[in-house]
C-alpha cells in the first residue's frame, strides 16, 4: 500500500469512519479528526484493534489556524482526506438563510481548503515515494456538485466549487509531485442522508463507497465518481434546460447527497 501515514477529517462517522477502518492495518498511522468525541474515540479504538497506530483529535475544520496546526502535527503525510462536510436545504421556506449558507460554505469549501492546502504545501517538500508522488490530497465532493437542484442550493454550489477547484488545481499540484483527487459519491447511507425524506436512487453502504474510493486512489485517479450511471445522469442533466430542474418538487427539511 503506497499510503502509510494518513489523515482524515470527519472521521467520527459515515464515510470518514469507513475510510479510516478500511485503511486500518498494521504498519499504518492514522490521524483522525472529528467533532464528536465519543464516536471518534470508538473509531480510533476499532482502528487500533485492527493493528493501526492512531491519533485522534477534536477539530473544527472551519478554524483555519487549528486545522493547519493539526496538519503540521501529523508529520509527513502520504495521504490526507478532507471528508468533513454538512448539508441542508430550504426546509419549509423557499430560500436558505444567510446563516445556513455561510455554515455550509465555511465547512464544505473553506474547511476543505483549510485541510488540504497546508498539507499540499508540506507534501511538495517531501521526497518522491515509490508510487511517483510526494503525497496525495483528497477532497470529498458529491455528484450534487454537477447538478444545480432547488432542493439543496448551497450544498450543491459548495460541492460545485470544490469540483472546479480540484479540476483547475490538479495540474499545478502535479508539477510539485502532489496528487489531488476529487471524490463524487452519490447517495451513501450515513447519519447525514438518514434525514432525507425521499427515496435515494443508488443508495449504498459507506463501507462499499470506501472500497471504491480506495481502489480509485490506488489507481491515482484525479476524479472518482460513483455510481457511474448516476454520474452520467448528472452530466446529462447539465445539458437540459434549467427550467426542467425548476420544476423538481421540493420536500421540507431536505438534505442532499452523501459526501
Is 124 within a domain?
A: yes
Number of domains in the chain: 1
Check whether 147 has a pLDDT greater than 90.
Answer: no
Is 251 within a domain?
A: no
Range(s) of the domain holding residue 48: 5-246
Q: How far apart are CA 33 and CA 90, in angstroms?
A: 29
Is 255 within a domain?
A: no
Q: How far apart are CA 231 and CA 133, in angstroms?
A: 28
Q: How far apart are CA 80 and CA 71, in angstroms?
A: 9
Q: Read off the pLDDT of residues 217-253 as tens digits, 9 standing for 90 and up.
A: 999 999 999 965 455 555 555 555 555 445 544 444 3
Is 258 within a domain?
A: no
Q: What is the pTM for the complete model shown?
A: 0.87
Q: Read off the pLDDT of residues 79-127 as tens digits, 9 standing for 90 and up.
A: 999 999 998 777 667 789 999 999 999 999 999 999 999 999 999 999 9
Is 254 within a domain?
A: no
Q: How confident is the model at residue 189 (pLDDT cuts 50, 70, 90)?
A: confident
DSSP codes of every residue in 67-121: HHHHHHHT-S-SEEEE--------TTSSS--HHHHHHHHIIIIIHHHHHHHHHHH
- Give the CATH number of the domain where residue 180 resides: 3.40.50.720
Q: How confident is the model at residue 215 (pLDDT cuts 50, 70, 90)?
A: very high
C-beta separation of 133 from 178 below 8 A:
yes
Is 257 within a domain?
A: no
Amino acid at each position: 500500500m503506497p499510503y502509510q501515514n494518513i489523515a482524515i477529517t470527519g472521521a467520527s462517522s459515515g464515510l470518514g469512519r469507513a475510510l479510516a477502518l478500511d485503511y486500518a492495518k498494521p504498519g499504518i498511522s492514522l490521524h483522525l479528526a472529528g467533532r464528536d468525541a465519543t464516536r471518534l474515540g470508538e473509531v480510533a479504538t476499532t482502528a487500533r484493534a485492527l493493528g493501526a497506530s492512531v491519533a485522534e483529535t477534536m477539530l473544527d475544520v472551519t478554524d483555519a489556524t487549528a486545522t493547519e496546526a493539526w496538519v503540521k502535527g501529523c508529520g509527513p503525510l502520504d495521504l490526507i482526506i478532507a471528508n468533513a462536510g454538512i448539508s441542508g436545504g430550504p426546509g419549509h421556506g423557499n430560500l436558505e438563510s444567510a446563516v445556513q449558507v455561510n455554515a455550509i460554505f465555511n465547512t464544505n469549501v473553506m474547511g476543505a481548503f483549510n485541510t488540504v492546502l497546508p498539507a499540499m504545501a508540506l507534501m511538495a517538500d517531501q521526497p518522491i515515494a515509490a508510487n511517483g508522488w510526494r503525497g496525495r490530497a483528497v477532497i470529498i465532493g458529491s455528484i450534487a456538485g454537477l447538478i444545480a437542484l432547488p432542493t439543496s442550493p448551497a450544498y450543491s454550489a459548495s460541492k460545485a466549487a470544490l469540483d472546479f477547484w480540484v479540476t483547475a488545481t490538479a495540474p499545478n499540484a502535479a508539477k510539485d509531485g502532489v496528487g489531488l483527487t476529487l471524490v463524487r459519491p452519490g447517495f451513501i447511507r450515513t447519519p447525514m442522508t438518514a434525514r432525507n425524506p425521499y427515496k435515494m436512487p443508488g443508495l449504498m453502504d459507506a463501507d462499499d463507497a470506501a472500497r471504491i474510493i480506495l481502489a480509485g486512489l490506488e489507481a491515482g485517479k484525479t476524479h472518482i465518481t460513483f455510481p457511474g450511471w448516476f454520474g452520467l445522469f448528472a452530466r446529462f442533466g447539465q445539458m437540459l434546460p434549467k427550467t426542467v430542474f425548476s420544476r423538481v418538487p421540493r420536500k421540507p427539511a431536505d438534505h442532499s447527497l452523501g459526501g
